[in-house]
Each structure stands twice: as structure tokens, then as C-alpha cells.
């Protein structure tokens, strides 16, 4: 049996994320003898280790000699270090003194002396560890290694049904909420009607009494969740999640829930930059003006309706044809000829007999913003191709249309793979697809022009 030691701390200052993700990681070492070494800091969640029936050693300090004694006591084969207070020099000295396998978790591209390095965040890039770890170090980086509790994988299999009349807003500012932002965010939400807030926190929150006092007599609009085991469900039922760009972002991203990220610490920089780059709304320094604006954008954005071409009025059918025949739109289509009204109407009339394609007019708050379509729908192999074009009178609606495509493809059609074939010089479209993590799979020639074949897997979105 392998003896594995986890070295991590939690407190009202440090937060609870290190211990929580280490508990997930520990489950991957089936049959191993798991021991945790942690300090007894104010606001810690060491009880979570004991609830899992793991051995817990309480440290008096973060000194290397004390840790070496525990390694000897349990004849440790591998140590897992998840601690910002343990650096390269500490790791190197520990390796020289014990010779054990060293497994390090890192979030911020620091220099490490280790055999295995795990950066499980969605933004992680293994190439950035060049010259930061030994040459023979095994790198485990990115979404393929994200540490998720089983509850998230189970919850994602369930159909996501959102309450549009009373919208659920999840607030998760870390188990400790060291910046004391929960109440400030709740005050911002009071400006909006028909909202119910679910606030997630833990007993590590030094401001918990203040928070409990604030939500008293507000049970109809605020629910306080302390040490909850229902995080996956709360995220899945949320119309919007307001979070820190931390480990929680990995979970919200996995559940595909709209989010606003508020940075509260420098170790969140990498996640913040990744989310901002991929079009998520982010707040660098908390202020009520930016948060109010971002909440309004996301709540308004959710009122999106897909109207099947079969159900369109004659005027609406004419309008989408007019858009499609615009030179700025048809130049990006394989068939770049203008389509006559008769052909257009006949094609729509034929759609009820075709189960391998669907076309939709997309509306936001009753405003017509564009068209999306799904063709070559392959239910057996769970894949579909898609098309997209916006109302030529509008700008900035590509993100809305893309999110409508992704939602319908994965949640309604239940496909696994979403495919696009796009002309290589259609730079705006390619940038949009890259933003949503589409990958280039092939390159071919159509009509004497090069076409990129791009795809998005449900598991990678």
C-alpha cells in the first residue's frame, strides 16, 4: 500500500480551496493510505479531512523539520504539496532530505522542484513551465486534469431548467470571503426585481455573523448556504453566478453557467485574464457601478428565443431571406448566389419532412438578432454542423448567437460534437469560434477557397 501525505492549510485568511481540491485529488489514489498534515489555523476546515476518515496530523509550524518527522513516521512514498508558503528551496531541501516523490499543485506558474506538477485550472498551459521545473518533471495541465467532485459530473447529466420569473443568482466569493464582499453584492442585487440570491460560504468566513444578521428576515429573497454539499446543484440552477476567478471558476465553467468574476487576490490573475480573454464579464476591483452594469447585461441577455423557420410569419420569412442575400453575409456561404423568394419559401415548406436539419430566427427581448441553423444532424454519432449569421443592421450579437447554438446543440439535440466549416479568410468567425474553444481539425478547398473544419466537444466547452 502506498503512503501519500498531503500538505495543505486552510483558514479565514488563506481560504478553503486548497483543502477542498486536495480531498478530490485524494480520491484518485485508490487503495492508498492517505494522511493530511495541516496547521490548526483560525477558521480552518480540517474537519473535512476527518469526515473523509483520513489521518490528520496537526502541525505546529510550516518548518521543514517538522514535516520530515511526519514523513519518517508514516514511511511516506509521495508527498502532495498544495501550499503557497512552500517554495522551490523548501521542495528541493525536502527532496534531498527524504528522496520521496514530490507532487506539487501550482496555479501561478511558479518555479518548483518536483517530480509531478498539476495545474488543474482551465487556463493552464504546460509550455509556460519551461525552465520552471526539472526536465523530467511530469506536467499535468489544463481542463483534462480539472479536479471536480463526482457531484458535478452527475449534475451535468441532468436537464438544466432555469426559472425566468424568479431568477436564481449564485454568490460564491470563496469559503472565507476574505474581502467581505457578500453583503456588498447583495446590496447591488437589491436594485433588481424578481431575483433570489443563493449565498455560499463556510464557517471559515470571519464575517459570517455579520452576514447572518444581514440576511435575517430576507428569507424570501436570500438563502444562506453554510458548508453546503449541494454546490453542483446550486450552480446548475443558477441563471447567473457571481464568483471569484478561483477554483470555483473551474466548476462554473464546467457547468456552463453564465458568470461574473470579481478578482479579490493576486493569485487569481491567471484565471481572471483567461476569463476576460474568452468574453466573460470580469471586475478587476470591486465597484457597484461595474457590477450593476454587468448583472444587467447578463440578465437581459438570457431572454433569448429560438423561433423555428416553420413557425415564422410570411414577413419574418422574407426578412431572414433579405438578410441572407446581403453581399456581406452570402460572401461567407458555400452557395454565394442570391436565393429567390419562391425557392426560399419552398425550402422552408420542405423542412417538416427533414429530421436532419433545423433553422431558427433568434430573438432577444423580441428583437430579431440573427439566424442559426443545424444541418447534417447525426443522432447516431451525436454530431451536427451549424451555420450562423446576424441581422446585418446589428453589431456585437455574435456571442449571443454562438451561445444559443451551443446551448441548443448540447442541451436539446444532445450531441457530443459541434462542427463548423468556415472560409479561412473569415477572420471574425474564426475568432468567435476560438473564443469558445473550437479546435482546428482539418483544412480543405471549396470553390477554390480554403476552408477550416473546426469542432467543439461538449466535454471541452
C-alpha cell read off for 157: 447529466
Cα distance between residue 382 and residue 461, in whole Å: 16
The b/e string for 386-408 (b: 16+ C-beta within 10 A; e otherwise) is: bbbbbbeeeeebbebbbbbbbeb
C-alpha cell read off for 425: 479568410
**Options 18, 112, 178, 344, the catalytic residue:** 18
Which residue has 479546435 as its cell numbers?
A: 439
For residue 21, what is the enclosing H or E element? Answer: helix 17-26
Tell me phi and psi for residue 335, to 5 degrees.
-95, 105
Cα distance between residue 164 and residue 196, in whole Å: 11
Closest CA to 287 of 178, 168, 208, 187: 187
Closest CA to 175 of 341, 43, 292: 43
For residue 368, what is the enclosing H or E element? Answer: strand 367-378
Tell me phi and psi for residue 275, to 5 degrees.
-65, -40
C-alpha cell read off for 280: 466573460
For residue 65, what is the enclosing H or E element? Answer: helix 64-73
Is 18 known to be catalytic? yes
Cα distance between residue 282 and residue 294, in whole Å: 8
- Give me the helix-helix angle, 398-407 and 427-435, nearest 10°: 50
Q: Where are the alpha helices (DSSP H) in 216-352?
A: 231-236, 247-255, 269-277, 288-301, 314-324, 327-330, 341-350
Q: Name residues whose C-beta falls within 8 Å of residue 173's C-beta, 6 or more positions apart in sequence.
A: 179, 181, 182, 185, 201, 242, 243, 244, 262, 264
* CB-based contact 440:455 (threshold 8 Å): no
* CB-based contact 143:122 (threshold 8 Å): yes
DSSP classification of residue 154: H
Catalytic residues: 18
Amino acid at each position: 500500500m502506498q503512503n501519500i501525505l498531503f500538505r495543505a492549510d486552510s483558514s479565514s485568511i488563506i481560504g478553503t480551496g486548497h483543502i477542498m481540491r486536495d480531498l478530490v485529488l485524494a480520491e484518485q489514489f485508490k487503495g492508498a493510505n492517505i494522511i493530511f498534515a495541516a496547521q490548526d489555523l483560525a477558521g480552518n476546515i480540517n474537519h473535512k479531512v476527518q469526515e473523509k476518515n483520513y489521518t490528520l496530523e496537526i502541525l505546529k509550524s510550516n518548518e521543514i523539520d517538522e514535516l520530515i518527522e511526519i514523513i519518517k513516521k508514516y514511511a511516506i512514498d509521495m508527498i502532495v504539496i498544495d501550499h503557497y508558503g512552500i517554495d522551490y528551496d523548501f521542495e528541493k531541501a525536502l527532496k534531498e532530505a527524504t528522496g520521496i516523490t514530490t507532487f506539487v499543485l501550482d496555479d501561478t506558474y511558479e518555479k518548483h522542484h518536483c517530480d509531478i506538477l498539476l495545474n488543474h485550472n482551465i487556463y493552464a498551459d504546460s509550455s509556460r513551465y519551461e525552465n520552471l521545473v526539472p526536465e523530467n518533471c511530469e506536467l499535468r495541465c489544463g481542463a483534462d486534469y480539472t479536479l471536480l467532485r463526482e457531484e458535478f459530473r452527475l449534475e451535468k447529466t441532468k436537464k438544466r431548467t432555469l426559472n425566468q420569473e424568479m431568477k436564481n443568482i449564485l454568490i460564491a466569493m470563496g469559503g472565507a470571503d476574505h474581502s467581505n464582499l457578500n453583503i456588498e453584492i447583495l446590496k447591488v442585487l437589491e436594485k433588481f426585481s424578481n431575483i433570489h440570491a443563493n449565498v455560499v460560504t463556510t464557517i471559515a468566513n470571519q464575517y459570517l455573523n455579520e452576514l447572518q444578521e444581514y440576511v435575517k428576515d430576507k428569507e424570501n429573497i436570500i438563502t444562506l448556504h453554510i458548508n453546503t454539499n449541494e454546490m453542483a446543484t446550486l450552480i446548475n440552477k443558477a441563471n447567473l453566478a457571481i464568483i471569484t476567478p478561483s477554483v470555483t471558476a473551474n466548476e462554473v465553467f464546467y457547468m456552463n453557467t453564465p458568470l461574473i468574476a470579481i478578482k479579490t487576490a493576486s493569485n487569481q490573475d491567471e484565471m481572471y485574464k483567461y476569463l476576460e480573454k474568452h468574453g466573460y464579464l470580469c471586475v478587476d476591483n470591486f465597484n457597484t457601478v461595474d457590477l450593476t452594469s454587468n448583472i444587467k447585461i447578463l440578465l437581459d441577455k438570457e431572454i433569448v428565443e429560438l423561433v423555428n423557420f416553420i413557425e415564422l410569419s410570411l414577413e419574418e420569412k422574407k426578412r431572414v431571406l433579405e438578410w441572407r442575400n446581403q453581399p456581406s453575409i452570402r460572401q461567407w456561404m458555400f452557395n454565394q448566389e442570391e436565393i429567390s423568394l419562391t425557392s426560399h419559401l419552398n425550402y422552408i415548406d420542405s423542412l417538416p419532412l427533414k429530421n436532419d436539419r433545423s433553422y431558427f430566427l433568434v430573438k432577444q427581448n423580441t428583437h430579431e438578432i440573427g439566424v442559426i441553423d443545424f444541418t447534417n444532424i447525426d443522432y447516431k454519432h451525436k454530431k451536427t454542423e451549424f451555420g450562423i449569421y446576424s441581422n446585418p443592421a446589428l453589431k456585437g450579437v455574435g456571442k449571443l448567437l454562438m451561445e444559443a447554438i451551443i446551448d441548443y446543440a448540447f442541451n436539446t439535440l444532445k450531441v457530443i460534437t459541434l462542427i463548423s466549416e468556415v472560409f479561412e479568410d473569415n477572420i471574425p468567425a474564426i475568432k468567435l469560434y476560438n473564443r469558445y474553444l473550437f479546435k482546428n481539425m482539418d483544412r480543405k478547398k471549396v470553390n477554390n477557397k480554403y476552408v477550416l473544419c473546426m469542432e467543439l466537444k461538449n466535454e471541452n466547452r
